[in-house]
Amino acid sequence: MDKEALNRSLDGTGLATWRYLERVDSTNSEAARWLEAGAPDICLVLANHQLAGRGRLGRRWHTPPDAALAMSLILRIPGDKAGNRFENPAALQLLAGLGAVALAEVLEDLYGLQAQIKWPNDLLVEGRKIAGVLVEAHWLGSQLDGVVIGIGVNILKRLVPPAETLLFPAASLEECLQSMLPDRLAILRSLVVKLLAWLPHIDTVEFLSAWETRLAWRGERVQVIRMADDSESGPIVQGHLTGLDASGRLILLSDAGEKVLVEAGDLRLRPVG
């Protein structure tokens, strides 16, 4: 990415500052190092090429040069003039939804794509994973010091690994748009603006509704499988996905008619059938 173009794209978005690296192990790791060194609230790490990008459960996130959007937003504790935005512990879980909702709105606004959120943190277009969000909390002893929201977006089709190597079907924006190439800088600017616009409102009914209405397989029968590394270890919870509670937990209606609340964690969500 050209630094002058980046400056123009990020100017006026509300970021305190940002760092761009041509190559990095992962933007979340770089953000953690910056946070430990005293990064200010609301700053951003960007990279053109990740050598060790990762998703949930430590899975590798493939990020070759010039083909993806790889970024991590740093939020310090306590918050800025809005006060401590993480007084409610549930807010940490809602941050995964923040990244997904913001990106879904960007793709809808810029390209008319109808994206769905595979709870808690993946974005699907036409049933294929196009982006992921990884939220990591950082502590100083028992005191929460900050949070990093990592977002990876598949931009060009050449970065998508072969289907046989994937646990879930994946796609790129280039494939979904077909007739045009996606603009990384336009997506970046719009995404930062959306993230910062929603951030003070993640504990509101409006935010929860924006997340819930985009849930993949809402109203359908699903199963939630607890994972150990990349192997299924159970137990399996099945039921109809009805929505989210105020903390961002998934609500399933079991076959016995009981409401089951599912916490985000080392889980795999899949439709049944």
Report pLDDT digits (tens) over 134-173: 999 888 887 888 999 999 999 998 766 555 555 667 888 9
- In this structure, the answer to whether residues 206 and 227 fall within a common structural domain is no
- In this structure, the answer to whether residues 36 and 9 fall within a common structural domain is yes
The segments of the chain whose pLDDT lies below 70 read 52-62, 77-90, 159-168, 227-235, 265-267, 273
Residue 233 pLDDT: 56
* Residues spanned by the domain of 242: 221-271
CATH number at residue 236: 2.30.30.100
Q: How far apart are the first and last CA of the chain?
A: 43
State how far the Cα of 231 lies from the Cα of 128, in Å rounded to an integer.
21
Task: Tally the domains of the chain.
Answer: 2
As a three-state string, the secondary structure of 197-250 is: HHHHHCCCHHHHHHHHCCECCCCCEEEEEEEECCEEEEEEEEEEEEEECCCCCE
Residue 179 pLDDT: 80
Residue 91 pLDDT: 73
State how far the Cα of 27 lies from the Cα of 149, in Å rounded to an integer.
10
Buried b / exposed e over 75-91, threshold 16 CB at 10 Å, is bbbebbeeeebbeeeeb
CATH number at residue 8: 3.30.930.10
Return the closest-CA partner of residue 106 out of 214, 208, 5, 22. 214
- In this structure, the answer to whether residues 133 and 256 fall within a common structural domain is no
- The set of residues, in sequence order, having a beta carbon less than 8 Å from that of 5 and lying 6+ positions away, is 185
- In this structure, the answer to whether residues 111 and 245 fall within a common structural domain is no
- In this structure, the answer to whether residues 134 and 84 fall within a common structural domain is yes
Question: Is residue 179 helix, strand or coil?
Answer: coil
- In this structure, the answer to whether residues 229 and 250 fall within a common structural domain is yes
Residue 264 pLDDT: 72
- In this structure, the answer to whether residues 225 and 206 fall within a common structural domain is no
- In this structure, the answer to whether residues 176 and 266 fall within a common structural domain is no
- In this structure, the answer to whether residues 200 and 245 fall within a common structural domain is no
Which of 163, 187, 212 is the C-terminal boundary of a domain?
212
Dihedral sign for Cα atoms in the order 87, 91, 93, 96: negative
State how far the Cα of 92 lies from the Cα of 55, in Å rounded to an integer.
17
Helices and strands (DSSP H and E) totals, the chain: 6, 12
- The residue whose two tokens read 């006026």 is 12
